[in-house]
Structure 1
Amino acid sequence: MASKLDLYKIFCRVGKTNSFSKAAESLYMTQPAVSQAIMQLERDLDTRLFKRTPKGVTLTHEGELLFEYANSAINLIDVGEEKILEFKNLTTGELKIGVGDTISQHFLLPYLEDFHHKYPKIKFNIVNGTTLELCSALKSGEVDIILCNFPLNDPTLEQIPCMDTHDIFVCGEKFKYVLSKSLSFDELVKLPLIFLEPKSNSRRYVENYLKSKGITIAPEMELGSHNLLLEFAKINLGIACVTREFSRNYLNNGLLYEVNLEEEIPNRSIGICFLKSVPLSPASTRFVKIIQGKSVGYSPLLSL
């Protein structure tokens, strides 16, 4: 038995062609099947919708009234289906990404460029914040995916590592004397230290690791961005805890020097997160694939 929507589609086609046979041909149906569908709709509505004549059919007054509404509804459904197809083919839509300033600058930009080149019709909506703020935005639906510092202790999130990072300490010319030997953590914390603010995931990771070694830090300064850490260390305001991978320009150009430690802080990573309970949009799925395909040292961890 035909669904109600199918019946209305057949009704509209007959109303446009004024012919059961022409409607049947365009719908790839038999003429008896079209006639049965119209009869079923008329029975359901208890109303005659067409006048049958030897030359074909014409809408009754009731049929004309119904056709006006049904045809509009069918057209809207067709438009909706076209929009869904465009959405799936990435010819329209929006990609909402949550990311911190540092990761955006040093990791995200090349992937945005690649994605935009492939799918220029997709709009970007970039939300900045700390890792905690971004996780909150992800759970509230403000963003589709986030790129942030790992590790995260949250079982509701799918976490895909993309790049290893290493926490190091750097200094400017004034503190070059500390480079003469490898420092223990006890010696390190006696120096004027510059850290990110306490709510930063990077700061918490390093601080927790040092605590596991029985070391408590008391930074001289706490800053809100990685770039400020580098700049403050460069003008000799202290020894800054930074990410090696995001400090290459300063280190390679001799603006800063990496402090040698007796024991390295274990590496961590940055990566992509999204909610396990919410399917990714087509744009988000494609973007994740692009990052996974190009991230050095990682093979795709997720089948999308």
Structure 2
Amino acid sequence: MNHEHLKTFVTVANHKSFSEAARILFLSQPTITSQIKSLERSLNTSLFNRTSKYVEMTPAAKILYSYAQEILDLQVKAQNEIDELLEDLHGKLIVASSLTIGEHLLPMFLYDFKKKYPKVDLSTDITNSQHIVDMVKSDELEIGLIEAALDDPLLHVVPFMSDELVLVAYRDFFSSDRQEVKLTELRSLPIVLRERGSGTRTVAHQHLGEHDVHPDSLNVVLELGSTESVKTAVEAGLGVSILSKSAIRKELDAGLFKTYPIENVELKRSFYVVYKKKKTLSLISQKFTSLILEKND
């Protein structure tokens, strides 16, 4: 059985869609259909029942599915051992990261990795944490770097660096004698936040929720899709925000922003590398994961 055909079969089975498999594998839908038909001919059986909304596996496909996953995993293990033997790592590293990590930490990690493994090409996707989790679970990528902890039976979620969130405001937003922000006051302050699904927002909600501050009770005046746009809104005086301290170092050094503790609230968190359980990572992904874990040990 052809490796690419098995990979296509597993992807179609996972997503119950020929068109979605085509998108993930960067192939045309006719190519996906052709590969599945070729596999069906070699096995002398039908693998999918097609409906108007999705496709479902036949009994024969369900038998093939578990074996196909094992075969693909064994191929990765074999390639990893050969690459280790040759001591000549080459190929492509594909890693997705959340915006805070991608804008402020990932470039440093990639520089160190490329220096150590110059024959490896680099590809990144900067998006929010929830999207990264979804891509890892659907096998669209092997590893991701996220900002919020999660408990998912399908995933390994390993912390690699600690971080601190702070309440931040433009330098003239509060009076000069302001020292902190009280929890009761926080509900009425205009606040600018990242979009739902971002790690920064998720962690902020978790910590505030522990102090009975429900997300819906906040006076959110603006939701934005990137940390940089949130900082621009804060600088314009539209409101305060809760951001990673590592994301506002330049603004703090320039005297544009000031940070304020929230009464009795510590906004500590970790950054995490996430990858799928029961799946062998490529040697490139293993080496990159080891690098960031060792770097911050």
TM-score of the aligned structures, taking structure 1 as reference length = 0.66
The amino acid across from 1:145 in the alignment is I
Residue 27 of structure 2: aligned partner: none
2:136 partner SS? helix
Cα distance in structure 2, aligned partners of 1:103 and 1:177: 32
Residue 85 of structure 1: aligned partner: 82
Cα-to-partner distance string for 1:245-282 (whole Å, 9 max, x where unaligned): 22111112211000232223341111211111111211
Matched, 1:276 2:277: yes
Tell me if structure 1 keeps the 8 A contact 2:169–2:257.
Answer: yes
Tell me if structure 2 keeps the 8 A contact 1:179–1:260.
Answer: no
Residue 229 of structure 1: aligned partner: 230
Equivalence map 1:128-147=2 (5 Å): 128-147=126-145
Cα-to-partner distance string for 1:75-119 (whole Å, 9 max, x where unaligned): xxxxxx999734763432221111123211211111111111111
Cα distance in structure 2, aligned partners of 1:144 and 1:217: 36
Q: For the pair shown, which has the larger CA radius of gyration, 1 or 2?
A: 1
Tell me if structure 1 keeps the 8 A contact 2:147–2:272.
Answer: yes
Residue 165 of structure 1: aligned partner: 163
Tell me if structure 2 keeps the 8 A contact 1:96–1:142.
Answer: no
Shift in alpha-carbon separation, 1:204–1:84, aligned structure 2, 3 A: closer
Tell me if structure 2 keeps the 8 A contact 1:207–1:217.
Answer: no
Give, in angstroms, the shift of residue 148 of structure 1: 0.7
Cα distance in structure 1, aligned partners of 2:260 and 2:194: 18
Residue 115 of structure 2: aligned partner: 117
Cα-to-partner distance string for 1:6-30 (whole Å, 9 max, x where unaligned): xxxxxxxxxxxxxxxxxxxxxxxxx
Matched, 1:198 2:196: yes
The amino acid across from 2:272 in the alignment is G
Residue 71 of structure 1: aligned partner: none
Cα distance in structure 2, aligned partners of 1:183 and 1:231: 21
RMSD, matched Cα: 2.2
Q: Which runs of 5+ in 1 are unaligned?
A: 1-80, 300-304
Shift in alpha-carbon separation, 1:178–1:223, aligned structure 2, 3 A: farther
Give, in angstroms, the shift of residue 157 of structure 1: 1.3
Equivalence map 1:92-107=2 (5 Å): 92-107=90-105
Shift in alpha-carbon separation, 1:82–1:149, aligned structure 2, 3 A: closer
Matched, 1:264 2:265: yes
Residue 23 of structure 1: aligned partner: none
Matched, 1:175 2:173: yes
Tell me if structure 1 keeps the 8 A contact 2:208–2:265.
Answer: no
Tell me if structure 1 keeps the 8 A contact 2:160–2:271.
Answer: yes
Equivalence map 1:29-48=2 (5 Å): none
Tell me if structure 2 keeps the 8 A contact 1:176–1:257.
Answer: no
The amino acid across from 2:280 in the alignment is P
Tell me if structure 1 keeps the 8 A contact 2:92–2:121.
Answer: yes
Residue 187 of structure 1: aligned partner: 185
Q: Percentage identity across aligned positions?
A: 25
The amino acid across from 2:104 in the alignment is H
Tell me if structure 1 keeps the 8 A contact 2:192–2:239.
Answer: yes
Residue 249 of structure 2: aligned partner: 248
The amino acid across from 2:253 in the alignment is N
Cα distance in structure 1, aligned partners of 2:206 and 2:291: 33
Tell me if structure 2 keeps the 8 A contact 1:179–1:259.
Answer: no
Cα distance in structure 1, aligned partners of 2:272 and 2:177: 32
Tell me if structure 2 keeps the 8 A contact 1:192–1:239.
Answer: yes
Cα distance in structure 2, aligned partners of 1:141 and 1:82: 18
TM-score of the aligned structures, taking structure 2 as reference length = 0.67
Give, in angstroms, the shift of residue 189 of structure 1: 2.0
Cα-to-partner distance string for 1:163-203 (whole Å, 9 max, x where unaligned): 11122111113313175232211112211111111222321
Tell me if structure 1 keeps the 8 A contact 2:252–2:258.
Answer: yes
Cα-to-partner distance string for 1:46-98 (whole Å, 9 max, x where unaligned): xxxxxxxxxxxxxxxxxxxxxxxxxxxxxxxxxxx999734763432221111
Residue 127 of structure 1: aligned partner: 125
2:292 partner SS? helix
Give, in angstroms, the shift of residue 286 of structure 1: 1.0
1:183 partner SS? coil
Give, in angstroms, the shift of residue 288 of structure 1: 1.2
More deviation, 222-231/261-270: 261-270
Tell me if structure 1 keeps the 8 A contact 2:207–2:266.
Answer: yes
